[in-house]
Amino acid sequence: MFLRNEESLSDDSASELAALKSLFEDLGVATFMKECLRKIYSLAEDEYMAETAFQYWCKLADESEIPCLMTMAKTIRRNLNGILAYWGKEKLTSAGMEGFNNKVRWLIRQAYGYRDDEYFKLKVFDLPNIRMSKEL
């Protein structure tokens, strides 16, 4: 329940989540902070608004004194320019490229022992046609 979006929870799950958040304070704060990050992406209209929101989020994360949130705040501060590029480039992400890179890494693991580099290159070009999961 902590990993799901709050708007997609059933009424029973939402009330159970509320009870868990009050019972485990740090998890409640972490869930709130996760939702805040999601809201930045859905509400920020430009780079300036996003930067302001991320800096405020990092301040709240540091004040929470929860080690994981403090570490994430450091990571966001370190990579803020790259994160803000999402708003500067018409909300363009590198998700497609990352997905393809994961497929190449999968192919490399599967191809352990290939002796022909040209064959491997052909397999990389054929990746869009390869199914990576097995049918159950």
Residue-wise pLDDT tens digits, 105-124: 888 777 776 677 788 788 78
Same domain for 105 and 81? no
Same domain for 52 and 20? yes
| Location of structure tokens 């920020």 | 44
The number of CA neighbours under 13 Å toward the Cβ of 47 is 11
Task: Summarize the confidence of residues 18-30 as an average pLDDT.
Answer: 76
Q: Note whether residue 134 is domain-resident.
A: no
Same domain for 76 and 10? yes
**pLDDT over 60 (residue 29):** yes
Q: Note whether residue 24 is domain-resident.
A: yes
Q: What does the pLDDT read at residue 54?
A: 95
Query: What does pLDDT average to over the chain?
Result: 82
**pLDDT over 60 (residue 125):** yes
Name the domain count of the chain.
2
Tell me the torsion sign for CA atoms 22, 5, 88, 72: positive
CB 96 within 8 A of CB 115: no
Q: Note whether residue 136 is domain-resident.
A: no
Which residues constitute the domain of residue 102?
95-129
Going from the C-alpha of 85 to that of each of 38, 50, 94, the distances in angstroms are 17, 10, 11
**pLDDT over 80 (residue 98):** yes
- pTM value is 0.62
Same domain for 72 and 111? no
Same domain for 22 and 75? yes
Find the farthest-apart pair of alpha carbons in the chain and give their distance in angstroms, rounded: 59
Q: How confident is the model at residue 53 (pLDDT cuts 50, 70, 90)?
A: very high
The tokens describing 44, both together, are 């920020």
Question: Among 39, 43, 54, which Cα is nearest to 84's?
Answer: 54
Same domain for 28 and 84? yes
Four-point Cα dihedral 59, 55, 80, 91, nearest 10:
130
